[in-house]
Amino acid sequence: MEKNNFDHIFSTLNQNLNQLKTGICLVKATTEMYQQLGFSQEEVLIANAVPKRQHEFRAGRHAARAAMRTLRPNYIDAPILIGSNREPLFPKNISGSISHTEELCLAACADKYHIASLGIDIERRVPLAEELKSVVYTHLEQQVLNQDTHLPSALIFSIKESVFKCFYPFVQVYFDFLDAQISLQPDDNTSGQFTVELIGANRDSLLAKLPPLEFQGHYIFNQDYVFSLCFFIQSSCPDTPICT
């Protein structure tokens, strides 16, 4: 599968983000970003990683810095290190998220004044392994996927990955897949919005840590890829950056 199979999704996403006035800048890593060395502080973190992981790590950091330069023309490039749970540590005034699949890497950033937190996820559109379904899907989610067979089986997985990233800055834990139940609201056959309901034993403790802000979730897919994005809104952004 070629990277350009994602180009239509990428273009649609940026158009939608501009229309929503979120202030979110979404950047797709270029080929050069996979090869270009990062800051020495970043290179230390991946010194013992396999080459594939090193390339993905570098591409994600370079794409994130490109997004931040678009958001803030006076931004000075700096290392993006990792936290206690391997999460990327963005500047305090920036909300950000990074995701990659085998041949694509994306980064999204926004000013925290507008977006309190965000999460993105990109997956190849391949069937979820049978043995994973019982630990990823709730009973109701499995019913939806069984009834609506045009939906990718990776969609719920991708959405939950983006939700974990979005919620993490507030809850500071990666909760189980079955602690979140996703409801889809399709806009058409290949895109839509989603909501999240926290369930399970950790529900009350997680809810207590989340901000009382508007939450939005969006998804889009084609024959090759599944993408999800979600965020907490602080305020609208009239001058949404144009990202590439």
pLDDT at 235: 77
pTM over 0.85: yes
Q: Show the tokens assigned to 237.
A: 């952004």
**Per the annotation, does 161 bind a ligand?**
yes
pLDDT at 6: 86
**Per the annotation, does 123 bind a ligand?**
yes
Least confident of 70-79, 85-94, 163-172, 229-238: 229-238
pLDDT at 131: 94
Q: Does residue 140 contact residue 91 with C-beta atoms inside 8 Å?
A: no
Distance CA 76, CA 91 (A): 11
Distance CA 237, CA 159 (A): 24
**Per the annotation, does 134 bind a ligand?**
no
Overall average pLDDT of the 51-61 stretch: 97
Phi and psi angles of residue 169, each rounded to the nearest 5 degrees, phi first: -55, -25
Q: Show the tokens assigned to 89.
A: 């540590």
Residue 238: which pLDDT band, with cuts at 50, 70 and 90? Answer: low
Which of the following CATH numbers is that of domain 23-113: 3.40.720.10, 3.90.470.20, 1.20.1300.10, 3.50.30.30?
Answer: 3.90.470.20
- Whether pLDDT at 1 is above 60: no
Which of the following CATH numbers is that of domain 123-233: 1.20.120, 3.40.50, 3.10.450, 3.90.470?
Answer: 3.90.470
Q: Show the tokens assigned to 209.
A: 């840590």
pLDDT at 17: 82
**Can 23-113 and 123-233 be said to share one CATH topology?**
yes
- Whether pLDDT at 239 is above 70: no
**Per the annotation, does 72 bind a ligand?**
no
**Per the annotation, does 224 bind a ligand?**
no
pLDDT at 224: 92
Q: Which residue has the tokens 């890497």?
A: 105
pLDDT at 83: 94
Q: What is the mean pLDDT of the chain?
A: 92
Q: Does residue 133 contact residue 88 with C-beta atoms inside 8 Å?
A: no
**Per the annotation, does 99 bind a ligand?**
yes
**Per the annotation, does 77 bind a ligand?**
no
Overall average pLDDT of the 197-225 stretch: 94
pLDDT tens digits, residue range 135-189?
999 999 999 999 999 999 999 999 999 999 999 999 998 899 999 999 999 999 9
Distance CA 26, CA 108 (A): 4
Strand partners, 169: none
Domain boundaries, the chain: 23-113, 123-233
Q: Show the tokens assigned to 187.
A: 């806009």
**Per the annotation, does 100 bind a ligand?**
yes
Distance CA 201, CA 223 (A): 36
